[in-house]
Amino acid sequence: MEQRSTALEPTLLWIITGYRIFAAGWLSILGAVAVAGEATDVDKPGIVVGTIALVLVWAGATTALRVLRPAATATWWLVGLDLLISCWSVVAGEFAGTIQFAGGYPLVGAFTAIYVYGWAGGILGATALTATGIGRVISESHSAAQDVANSIAHLFSVGAAAGVAAALRTSERRRDAAETALEQERADRIRAEEHAEMAAHLHDSVLQTLALIQRDSAATPDIRGLARHQERELRAWLFPDQGSGAAVAGGFKESLVNVCSEIEDLGDAHIEAVVVGDSAAAVEPIVRAAREAILNASKHAGVDAVSVYGEVADGEVLIFIKDRGVGFDPAAVPESRQGIRESIISRMDRHGGSAEIVSEPGAGTEVRLRLPTGDA
């Protein structure tokens, strides 16, 4: 049984304890009247006195246990012992040769069983009491009507107690669940508000400062690169959904932007990436070729900015990589330059696409990549 620190369970326990003390007192008075009274004749008064002593000691012992070790209340042997004493109180009068003097005491055992085992405990308690009552009816012929009435009263009381306990516990669980959900929601909201507030603050202070550093011509390229890197990281953390727009996870846009970030982090140049549209199609070849071209531009063009433009058009994806750097004569590139030949031109050819390199010394370079995707 999962218990939260609510007031319900201790309250139930104290109701049972209170009832036990009351019932033990009731049994003692009835027993004393039977022994000392003049209306009846008790064959074995020792049994009556012994039973009174037993329930009083048991009530004292269980109450003490409840105060000192509340957890021990829920053990099976304690429930069993309690039921046994309750059943004994039902038949004690029979053995003593007098009328029944148990009063309401037998119910205590069943209540304890309900407290510990719920409905199952109720059935267990009711069965034990009823079986004891029936046994008494069968063994003795007199006062059968009284015994049947007692048993029915027991059944009814146990059933009612089990029902009430179950209903109380269900409503308590619901309230707990509602409270937990409310607390969770409150915690989530506070966290979201804190995040938004921090984002607004950082946006207004840190991002602005990083922007200022980037446009400060007196700062070294290293410092500007660092500011750019920090700005991108901060932005990704502050606005995780922004900039990606309706991005397809692992799609064209995300792959290309990731490649640009990765190369920018090498620190050679700022990669200005603009991506229009998105596609989940297999775009790995063109993105890999683009990576090679961006790397070339940032390393060899001698510029601090490279423009990358990606677009998903009808049935094809396009990537343009442009720099305003030193440029070169594409026809004069030696065979041994694997970068351009193998990684860009051959790769695009192999995958049914194309690569065009427009460059001349001193006038910058543009690499134009095109890959059919099949989906028009």
Partner 1 sequence: MTTVFIVDDHDLFRAGVRSELADDLVIVGDASQVLPAIEMIRERQPDLVLVDVHMPDGGGRAVITGVHSTHPDILFLAISASDAPEDVVATVRAGARGYVTKTVSPDDLADAIRRVVDGDAVFSPKLAGFVLDAFSAMDVKDLDPDLDKLTKREREVLQHIARGYTYREVGEQLYISAKTVENHMSAVLRKLQLSNRRELTRWAQDRDLI
Which residues sit at the interface with partner 1, rule CB under 8 A?
Answer: 203-204, 207-209, 211-212, 214-215, 217, 228, 239, 241-243, 245-247, 272, 274-277, 307, 309, 311, 320, 322, 324, 366
Handedness of CA 223, 226, 227, 228 (dihedral sign): positive
| Gap between the Cα atoms of 251 and 153, Å rounded | 73
Least distance between partner 1 and beta carbon 368 (Å): 9
Q: How far is the CB of 317 from partner 1 (least distance, A)?
A: 13
Q: Which is nearer to partner 1, 241 or 335 (CB)?
A: 241
Q: How far is the CB of 217 from partner 1 (least distance, A)?
A: 7
Closest CB 345 distance from partner 1, rounded Å: 20
Residue 222 CB, nearest approach to partner 1 (Å): 16
In whole angstroms, what is the distance from residue 203 CA to residue 271 CA? 21
Burial (0-12, 13-18, 19+ Cβ within 10 Å), 177: exposed
| Min CB(228)–partner 1 separation in Å | 8
Q: In this complex, which beta carbon is closest to partner 1, that of residue 90 or of residue 312?
A: 312
The strand pair at 270-276 and 305-313 is best described as parallel
Write the CA distances from 305 to 19, 169, 223, integer angstroms: 85, 68, 15
Instruction: Determine how β-strand 365-372 pairs with β-strand 305-313.
Output: unpaired
Q: Tell me the closest approach of the beta carbon of residue 245 to partner 1, in angstroms.
A: 5
With respect to partner 1, which residue has the nearer C-beta, 173 or 235? 235
Residue nearer to partner 1 on the CB measure, 136 or 253: 253
Identify the bridge partners of residue 322 per DSSP, sorted by sequence position.
307, 366
Smaller CB separation from partner 1, 101 or 320: 320
For partner 1, give the closer residue by CB, 66 or 235.
235
Q: Is 302 left (phi over 0), alpha (psi -120 to 50) or beta?
A: left
Closest CA to 213 of 221, 303, 315: 221
In the complex with partner 1, the residue whose CB is nearer, 176 or 311, is: 311
- For residue 126, count other CB atoms closer than 10 A to its CB: 22
Let me know: does 18 contact 112? Beta carbons within 8 Å.
Answer: no
